[in-house]
Structure 1
């Protein structure tokens, strides 16, 4: 199954049943996008991104104002564009901040509910943790990074057990069926263990609340590995022993658990980020309103006389105030860029291809 040309997928991708499962493991390689662009969308600190956007607005405002004829200072002397501009900004700030906080509250209402619903959520969570404990042969960690690490460690261990079992089993009469099986199992196990070890290294020391845990989880491309396990089971059914079929099923179950585990951690991060965004927008809205109010009531053509490097001081003042008034919107854009990019990369929870694949 091949996605449309140029399509972008989540990390849950698998190749066609008749293809080689030769896909990149890391999310950046699968995305096929510029490293700087991907860093800006996902890895960069959101406050830094918001600050860069705010500065870009200031520079663009001043550049356009200087290029216009007559100059902004002349226009301010002839009419009152400052009052018109910042009166509109005050309305936008209040409306935007209220809307964002309201949306945040609506999303978080799913955490509220009667006692019976909360008990059912707890029972479902504990049931999944018990399943993970059975497959990992140990207690399920409570830390999100350690939680994902335990699943990856169990998957790597089960993969190695499968390879050892296939290597220890005797050959067929002609040996061809077992040789092909060993080659495919070795390819699966090598790719899975290398990918799992790399991601476990990224999870080591990662703290939830930052983007590190979620970003590391994106780099384990479990979908193709599930597809490869299924193909080995289907293509080599006659060559597999009952023990090997059991180990394949156990490996598939462990790798498959990573999907919902990652989605759970991603959902918690979305809620965490939304709370942070709502709080930051409220913080930024206060100085933005103060600056907009001062510009509306205290600034006129004579407030900032003079020029520097050919630029009217009033132009710099209005541009700076306009950029500060847009700070809540810059914060909203910076967080939304990450959330939407992350959601697009993880649309499919199963082994589906939403992009081009080899």
Structure 2
């Protein structure tokens, strides 16, 4: 990622709630605003979800074996004197079947919201085309159909307006006219928009929808605080602005405000995409999990895997491995849910509203 290694949060993306007379601002990256370290955000958002699920599965196996070895009597002795395997894996079979059915059902319920009568679908299409016409009018070119290119076009329009506004003010405003504060405020707004937009456009370049790359890059543009800053410039320096500059400032604000719903739309599509992937992966993982649970229940007993390696009973390793595999559907669910909930929390608000501290 170029420039900003972490995505910006939408809860942080939104304009500050400080006093209108103060010059409050937020950082561009999520880590800077949220005060969270790089490793944590990588785990929650950027890391491959299958890798996260695999790590969770391995962690369960290691923890199971460590606890089984640490406590006395050993698992092998317990298996010989009672039947903990039957109790454990009979319950796991029930959990796998019930949990898989529930997750897939929830996915189907969410996806059914996309279904509807012809009139509703036509209304959705009309609304979509109306927004595309607005974007095309703003950018001066046909609206792209690729999600990354769509966001890039809006950011490009915002950066151009910011540059034009700053150039116009620089050409006529000066210290001798007592407009130093006006020029500094416009320059601060322009630099903030242009630098942030250029960084995010660099991240969007080559990003493909379906992966997390497009949403991850889009989160790094904190459009909300910039809308608030543009409003303060208009309110504080209305007398200093020419009619042309008011138009440029209005177009800049319009560009920033269009980025919000466009990003939310892309985020919503990603949520649905991820939910479909999650449901499919859980179905894939449920079959081997059921097979392993059934085989362990039917085959493994105190004498099936005799002996020890490095002081660990073989039966402990087998039962721990089987238990970890049966939890694989749950590990997948946790890995996807960590990303979705983190993304949802950081995009709770749309527009000029900050849900965490700003400077």
TM-score scaled by length of structure 2: 0.95
Deviation track 1:289-312 (CA, whole Å, cap 9, x = no partner) reads: 000000111111100000000000
For residue 11 of structure 1, report the CA deviation from its aligned partner. Answer: 3.6
Report the equivalent of 2:241: 240
The alpha-carbon deviation at position 170 of structure 1 amounts to 5.5
The CA deviation at 1:249 is: 0.7
Report the aligned-residue RMSD: 1.2
Match of 1:218 in 2: 219
- Find the partner of 1:124 among 115, 124, 127: 127
Residues 51-74 of structure 1 deviation map (CA, whole Å, 9 limit, x = unaligned): 000000000000000111100000
CA contact (8 A) 2:11 2:355 kept: yes
**Would the aligned equivalents of 2:271 and 2:340 in 1 still touch at CA under 8 Å?**
yes
Looking at structure 2, the residues matched to 11 and 100 of structure 1 have their Cα atoms a distance apart, in angstroms, of 31
- 149, 159, 162: which one pairs with 1:159? 162
2: distance between equivalents of 1:157 and 1:29?
Answer: 26
Report the CA distance shift for 1:9/1:129 in structure 2 as closer, same or farther (over 3 A).
Answer: closer
Instruction: Give the alignment of 1:209-288 within 5 angstroms.
Output: 209-288=210-289
1:11–1:218 CA contact under 8 A, matched in 2: no
Alignment partner of 1:196 is 2:197: yes
Tell me how far apart the structure 1 counterparts of residues 336 and 196 of structure 2 sit (CA, whole Å).
28
1:5 — aligned with what?
Answer: none
Cα distance in structure 1, aligned partners of 2:106 and 2:12: 28
Q: Is the 8 A contact 2:260 2:350 kept in 1?
A: yes
Whether 1:175 and 2:191 are equivalent positions in the alignment is: no
Report the counterpart of residue 4 of structure 2 in structure 1.
none
User: What is residue 350 of structure 1 aligned with on the other side?
Assistant: 351
Partner of residue 61, structure 1: 64
Runs of 4+ in 1 over 6 A off after TM superposition: none
Asked if 1:46 corresponds to 2:53, the answer is no
1:171 Cα shift?
A: 5.8
Quick check: 1:11–1:220 contact (8 Å CA) kept in 2? no
User: Secondary structure in 2 aligned to 1:10?
Assistant: helix
Q: Is the 8 A contact 2:169 2:183 kept in 1?
A: yes
Distance 1:349 1:199 in 2: 18
| One of 80, 102, 107 as aligned partner of 1:104 | 107
Equivalent residue number for residue 134 of structure 1: 137
Q: Is the 8 A contact 1:11 1:222 kept in 2?
A: no
| Aligned counterpart for 1:82 among listed residues 71, 80, 85 | 85
Identify the residue that residue 329 of structure 2 maps to in structure 1: 328
Deviation for aligned residue 1:18: 2.6
Other-structure match for 2:207: 206
Alpha-carbon contact 1:151-1:257 (below 8 Å) kept? yes
Tell me the CA shift for residue 103 of structure 1. 0.3
Partners of 1:158 and 1:9 in 2: how far apart?
A: 23
Q: How many angstroms apart in 2 are the aligned matches of 1:22 and 1:353? A: 10
Q: Is the 8 A contact 1:192 1:225 kept in 2?
A: yes
| Kept in 2: contact 1:89–1:292 (CA 8 A) | yes
2:150 alignment partner, one of 141, 147, 151: 147
Deviation at 1:325?
A: 0.1
